[in-house]
Structure 1
Amino acid sequence: MEEFVNEAYIPSQLVNSSSSDACTVKYYCYLIELKQDYGDPIGVRDIVLAVTTELDPEVASTKFDMCVVEGGNLLVTLRQVESIDLSPHVVQRCRRFQTTLFRILLHNDDNVSDEFCLGDSPQIDYLLLPATTPHQRLSNSYVDWKSVCSVPFSSLDQCDCRYYPNPMWTKNGLVCSCKLQNCVVKSFHNGSIYVIDGIVDLNANSRQRSGGKRPLTYKEHLKNNYGIQLHFENQALLDGRSLFKVKNYLFKCRQKKQNGSMSMIPAKLPPEVCSIIMSPVSVSTIYSFAFVPSIMHRLESLLIASGLKKMLLDHCMPKDIPVFKLLKAITTKECQEDYDCESLGTLGASFLKYAATQQLFKTNQNLREGALTQLRNNIISNAALFTFGSSQKLVVLFFP
């Protein structure tokens, strides 16, 4: 097997289907380690960032907090791990996984698609993949390939399951109940997408929990409210949750005092009204990917600051200035981050003005004070600095 550096880590279905791919692409892998310091019944899972261009060492070892709830943060740590070579077919499967997952989380869209806009530059080509648990990494890859292969779901896939012998009827047809233990489904009684994390000891004839005098059964509820007549009422119900709400966790913390996933609405769903979108994929994986937009925004900002540092190294800039210090210097208070350039006002208000004033005075000694002031403002205004930064290609698109 020549396509992969770590061929033992790739599932057999990917190995067999990509044997005809002659060329591979090297991806530098970085483990995004997530650690909660707040109480939540759902734990987080690490994520693998794979890019075709090696990151700056300062960015590759970054560490920061995100405010998830009032008084509770999520610690994010980035560290480089072993790189991998992937064939075009495997890359396509990876992109399909992350595109489908982000469509679900960001747009409540269950469309399975290979569309993935990376722009014109191959330097920003990246993959975001679920990571294996720490104990699995002793004998396996950092990438959870089983979850990557969760989309597109096919009821025709063979199952060697020994623990869930009874198949269940779904909108996809008859499937092994093991495929419903950890999956994402769309319920056709209300069009909503749910994350399933198990099967409960209830069926359609069980009564719903309600404050009314006579709670309806699940079968009666679907018939009375949606006109749906169940045909397999003795099947066990699926234990579902509504989708996680994706937020900007980089704002100064103003979150309500509640657990991050507790606001999700629970639901008990008959399998026959559900269409499986992804399986198997754990609730923790879906929950963790809800933080990815905020994480990638921070990494994008650090990459911009890193690019600025490299550009300025040829102009007598001390090499020991941290990238984060530069990021802080170019972040305004209006960004509402937990850091900004206010504490570095001397850098902009004094040093920059002094340097521009000195240069203008040397080259335009015959001009009056008002004209020199206007020239200086034209150089150091926010609009002028933005135009200059754009001309130096400091703005990058890292997250679609």
Structure 2
Amino acid sequence: MLIPAALRVPWTDTENPVFLHSYFIQLVPIPADRQYQQFGLFVKGPLPGGAGTMELDLHLSRGRIVRSKLIPLGVTEFDAEEIIQAQNFQELCLKIILDRSIFFSDFVSLGESDTSQSLSTFYLLLPMRGTNHENKLGVDWNIIRRCLSSPVFHRGVDSIDHSPIHGSSSLILESGPVNTRDILNCLVFTPHNKLFFFVVDILHGMNSESAFPDHKRVNYAEHYSEEFGIHLRYPKQPLLKAKQLFSLHNLLHNRVQKNTAPRELEEHFVELPPELCSLKIIGFTKVMGSSLSLLPSIMHRLENLLVAIELKGVFSSAFPEGLEVTENNILEALTTEKCMERFSLERLEVLGDAFLKFAVGRHLFLAHDALDEGQLTWKRSCIVNNSNLRKLAVKSNLQVYIRDEQFDSSQFFALGRPCTVICDDDTETTIHSQQEIENITGGDAAANRKCSKAHLWLRMKTIADVVEALVGAFIVDSGFKAAIAFLKWIGIEVDFELSQISKICSASKSYMSLSKNMHMADLENSIGYKFLHKGLLVQAFVHPSYNKHSGGCYQRLEFLGDAVLDYLITSYLYSVYPKLKPGQLTDLRSASVNNNSFAHVAVSRGFHKYLISGSDSLSDAVNKFVDLSEKCFRKSLSNGPSCPKVLGDLVESCVGAILLDSGFNLNLVWKIMLYLLAPVLNFSTLQLDPIRELQELCQSRNWKLNPSSTRRGGIFSVIVEVNAEDFRLSSSATNLSKKVATRVASEEIFLNLKAKGYKSKRKSMEDVLKSIIKQEATLIGFDEATMESLNPSQLGDLEGHDTSLSAGALSNLMTTNDKLNHRVDVSFKSSCTQSTPATTPQWQQGETSEGGSSLIDLQMGGMKNKVSAKSHLFKLCDSNSWNPPFFECINEEGPHHLKLFVYRVRVEVEDAKSTILECYSEPQAKKKAAQDHAAEGALWFLKHQEHWKN
């Protein structure tokens, strides 16, 4: 595990003075029920990125919070003696809060730690005094020197005056009389129970003969006599008011219960007879102890944040998009659930996993047009499986940045407390043995023991999860382009050429022979989208059983549609439910992205009517399911026939066809998805897996769940039994599918238990969705330049939504054919003024619509209409039976609020020369204007080539 470089820069003994960058650690308690000693952090170099201003909430008991913040103070100068004192003070603090048993003895050495064999950090945490106003804070050397003057750090030297002092100026401690000024605000040790206490006051109105608080004993003297067998010699001495030294906790984990406001917590104090106390550290106050209880958690988070900043530096030096991801999201992507922080990689992992499968699936779909769905799925699995992701991550050295352990005080090492488990060539095998691997596989805490090189065992899945979470981080912070750049850096190619889309769309013409009996317009209305390449729509409904056509079936489109739907629905859930836990997010996605829910969508849209199949048994199964769906609308269908997979496949293949037909315009597919899957995404009839729900209920109550099954004549009989201490329930079901039968029996028992009032201790998903914050659905990250082949009339009910694409550059025209490849520069201004034959429609530039696009005046048969150049180009291609023009954004430039776009239009002129015409727009402020400008160039050329005729 990587130790951040910013904390590993040492200062040398030869430096005098030493200059260290200082940061004030501001601590604000909520509620304000505690006081804290001001502390500062001192490091050799400035903290990079946002580390120097890091803010962090530390969670205490009862919902209390301490809000911490680093505030840069500039550079502080230390002379040689001050550096030694500062280092010894830090060692003192670390020993008393982490290794306090050392202080059982009468002498504790300081300044003898050897850091040469350990990956030690070099920073100092020192008390400060003054105010932050005008940077008047400085190191409190009085506190440091007073603590270091304690006799426990000086063998044979006693700095305390034990001579008898008359009056109330001294008290007799375990080691003799001590002046009260040294007793107040000090740390004492009570040998009889081996505990440490901060002395906060001397109770002159109480002594050992005072009544004991629990009223079971007469006084304090009697209490110590009965409990510990101690007979006090000085019962008349005033008692000491003391607070026990804290135990260090992980304060990074959110311990606040929902709907619980922070409450003040009254401090607990005890009264101690002075003669039972041994003085340890003078001037070590309760206020300073309170601050020291927070600092290790702060430094643990700071180390993790610095590691994330280092990784961002690796990304930004490798590819420009690396600058666009935030260090906080990198940290989240590197932090596993095991760390017990208030965040983890799991939400980002869910999003990144969905995008990875979509991006890789899209790449394979376009690159291998001869592979079927099974082959594509296998190829994708080889790329996105955990083993391959782990291999690629290790190759890029990503594993060293992963944070996979919670804050453990015993494993907190810093300057003054180096790791004592020295790992070298001779000891590495012993320290990190096979036993350790077995321990970590079983979750044994012993395996988390750190060595001097900060080695850490990681599971393969953990490394793979981090890769997916980093993909998610890039998507959230920047978009698809940045995520793809990261994937390319790690070794996963997902690029594709827009021409590959055109090739597949053109090839879909072969399916048009099957469209004779399909009411295409009705089907398009049901989908909410009008296809440009209608062969894709036909292909989406051809089942593999249909063998009267050699062109294939819907399975490849299903593969593509499944991948894009998985990402779109994940994006929907991620954006709508930002507070949903990762496990709940996965459960909700499973409840929505499944064959059963898609099958109901297919039936409601009438997709089954258009299925082209060669199997009578399949048709019968579909018809039975459709009939039952209509009879049992919005009711459980678990007892009915098995849901035919083909129905869910139709939804996925349909979406895959739209994705291709739209030129991979994910914004458009997103709107179609929201339209098609509205009944699924409102979760009004949410049904989680009854098998899993029953299992969780039984586990939460320690009930035995016993499912059993038999098979006769192809029919499965399943019996599910639940055995509790005071009752027994069983249910049986039969079905052709064992899974369906098990689901039916499990659902019956679960509903029976639910009716009796038994509920899982976990909150139901329905209750979660009712109470959780809900936001507007957003398509996350889509920022790719895509190819537009859409006529505005294609959008049907969705017309009016923004479906324009990004890009743009140049102002010229290209024609190509088998024998010709030349470029012709065109000046639109001059071309607009040229005369044309009377039989040719006349057009002129210069008039602009509200949307910013040029309008063309068309004079046909004495009628004058105003239409955009883009629309007219579509009509021209259609009238000549050419493929529709393809618009592609090839460049965008300028700042976000002053973007200029350049578009290219591609027209396949199917004449004797088979000309391919490409025209480029000038940079335009609006995408639609750039598209129209490119279209004007194409129309100008076609007009002069006599392709434009009335």
> Normalized against structure 2, the TM-score is what?
0.35
- The reply to whether residue 283 of structure 1 matches residue 286 of structure 2 is yes
- Alpha-carbon spacing, 1:395–1:343, altered in 2? closer, same or farther (3 Å): closer
Write out aligned runs for 1:39-188 (5 A): 39-40=32-33, 42-111=34-103, 112-114=108-110, 116=113, 124-132=121-129, 134=131, 141-149=137-145, 150-151=147-148, 153-154=150-151, 155-156=158-159, 166-188=169-191
Q: CA deviation at 1:165?
A: 7.1
Range moving further from structure 2, 350-359 or 268-277: 350-359
Answer whether contact 1:25 1:85 (CA < 8 A) is retained: yes
Range moving further from structure 2, 331-340 or 171-180: 331-340
Q: CA deviation at 1:329?
A: 2.5
Query: Which residue is 2:543 aligned to?
Result: none
Query: Which residue is 1:5 aligned to?
Result: none
- Output the CA distance in 1 between the equivalents of 2:359 and 2:198: 57
- Output the CA distance in 1 between the equivalents of 2:370 and 2:90: 62
CA offsets 1:70-95 (integer angstroms, 9 cap, x no match): 44321111111132233454333333
Range moving further from structure 2, 358-367 or 96-105: 358-367
Which of 293, 296, 308 matches 1:293? 296
Query: Which residue is 1:307 aligned to?
Result: 310
Which of 205, 208, 218 matches 1:204? 208
- Output the CA distance in 1 between the equivalents of 2:172 and 2:368: 83
- Output the CA distance in 1 between the equivalents of 2:368 and 2:149: 67
Write out aligned runs for 1:217-236 (5 A): 218-236=220-238
Answer whether contact 1:356 1:379 (CA < 8 A) is retained: no
Q: CA deviation at 1:68?
A: 1.9
Answer whether contact 2:335 2:402 (CA < 8 A) is retained: no
- Alpha-carbon spacing, 1:116–1:75, altered in 2? closer, same or farther (3 Å): farther
Letter of the structure 2 residue corresponding to residue 30 of structure 1:
Y
> Normalized against structure 1, the TM-score is what?
0.77
- Output the CA distance in 1 between the equivalents of 2:188 and 2:265: 18
Query: Which residue is 1:374 aligned to?
Result: 382
Range moving further from structure 2, 50-59 or 94-103: 94-103
Query: Which residue is 1:37 aligned to?
Result: 30
Identity of aligned residues (%): 25
> Secondary structure of the residue that 1:319 maps to in structure 2?
helix
Query: Which residue is 1:247 aligned to?
Result: 249
Letter of the structure 2 residue corresponding to residue 245 of structure 1:
S
Q: CA deviation at 1:333?
A: 4.0
- Alpha-carbon spacing, 1:360–1:200, altered in 2? closer, same or farther (3 Å): farther
CA offsets 1:175-217 (integer angstroms, 9 cap, x no match): 22011110111012322111111111222332322222x522x
Q: CA deviation at 1:376?
A: 4.3
- Output the CA distance in 2 between the equivalents of 1:122 and 1:92: 20
- Output the CA distance in 2 between the equivalents of 1:387 and 1:275: 57
- The reply to whether residue 316 of structure 1 matches residue 289 of structure 2 is no
- Output the CA distance in 2 between the equivalents of 1:259 and 1:88: 46
> Secondary structure of the residue that 1:307 maps to in structure 2?
helix
Judging by fraction of residues, say which structure has more strand: 1
Answer whether contact 2:334 2:403 (CA < 8 A) is retained: no
Range moving further from structure 2, 101-110 or 239-248: 101-110
- Alpha-carbon spacing, 1:393–1:139, altered in 2? closer, same or farther (3 Å): closer
Q: CA deviation at 1:146?
A: 2.5
- The reply to whether residue 26 of structure 1 matches residue 19 of structure 2 is yes
Q: CA deviation at 1:63?
A: 1.2
Query: Which residue is 1:3 aligned to?
Result: none
> Secondary structure of the residue that 2:298 maps to in structure 1?
helix
CA offsets 1:251-301 (integer angstroms, 9 cap, x no match): 13257988686474x221122221122111221110121112221121111
Answer whether contact 2:26 2:70 (CA < 8 A) is retained: yes
- Output the CA distance in 1 between the equivalents of 2:290 and 2:339: 26
Letter of the structure 2 residue corresponding to residue 98 of structure 1:
Q
- Output the CA distance in 1 between the equivalents of 2:360 and 2:161: 70
Range moving further from structure 2, 79-88 or 378-387: 378-387
> Secondary structure of the residue that 2:279 maps to in structure 1?
strand
Answer whether contact 1:184 1:193 (CA < 8 A) is retained: yes
- Output the CA distance in 2 between the equivalents of 1:38 and 1:182: 24
Judging by fraction of residues, say which structure has more helix: 2
- Alpha-carbon spacing, 1:334–1:272, altered in 2? closer, same or farther (3 Å): closer
- Output the CA distance in 2 between the equivalents of 1:278 and 1:363: 72
- Alpha-carbon spacing, 1:352–1:293, altered in 2? closer, same or farther (3 Å): farther
Answer whether contact 1:378 1:384 (CA < 8 A) is retained: no
Q: CA deviation at 1:372?
A: 5.8
CA offsets 1:319-350 (integer angstroms, 9 cap, x no match): 35332122122223443422233443476325
CA offsets 1:31-56 (integer angstroms, 9 cap, x no match): 1101011252x322332111123211
> Secondary structure of the residue that 1:277 maps to in structure 2?
strand
Which of 234, 238, 241 matches 2:240? 238
Letter of the structure 1 residue corresponding to residue 310 of structure 2:
G
Letter of the structure 1 residue corresponding to residue 47 of structure 2:
L
Letter of the structure 1 residue corresponding to residue 180 of structure 2:
S
Range moving further from structure 2, 99-108 or 171-180: 99-108
- Output the CA distance in 1 between the equivalents of 2:168 and 2:74: 38
- Output the CA distance in 2 between the equivalents of 1:108 and 1:66: 23
- Output the CA distance in 1 between the equivalents of 2:324 and 2:161: 57
- Alpha-carbon spacing, 1:377–1:365, altered in 2? closer, same or farther (3 Å): farther
- Alpha-carbon spacing, 1:123–1:32, altered in 2? closer, same or farther (3 Å): same
Answer whether contact 1:66 1:250 (CA < 8 A) is retained: yes
Q: CA deviation at 1:242?
A: 1.4
Answer whether contact 1:171 1:275 (CA < 8 A) is retained: yes
Give the RMSD, CA atoms, in angstroms.
Answer: 4.0
Gaps of 5+ in 2: 1-12, 152-157, 414-950
CA offsets 1:100-150 (integer angstroms, 9 cap, x no match): 333333344353343657575888301112232538x88975322222221
Which of 322, 327, 330 matches 2:331? 327
- Output the CA distance in 1 between the equivalents of 2:270 and 2:369: 76
> Secondary structure of the residue that 1:31 maps to in structure 2?
strand
Query: Which residue is 1:9 aligned to?
Result: none
Query: Which residue is 2:393 aligned to?
Result: 385
Gaps of 5+ in 1: 1-19
- Alpha-carbon spacing, 1:110–1:139, altered in 2? closer, same or farther (3 Å): farther
Write out aligned runs for 1:9-24 (5 A): 23-24=16-17
Determine which structure has more spread, i.e. the larger CA radius of gyration.
2
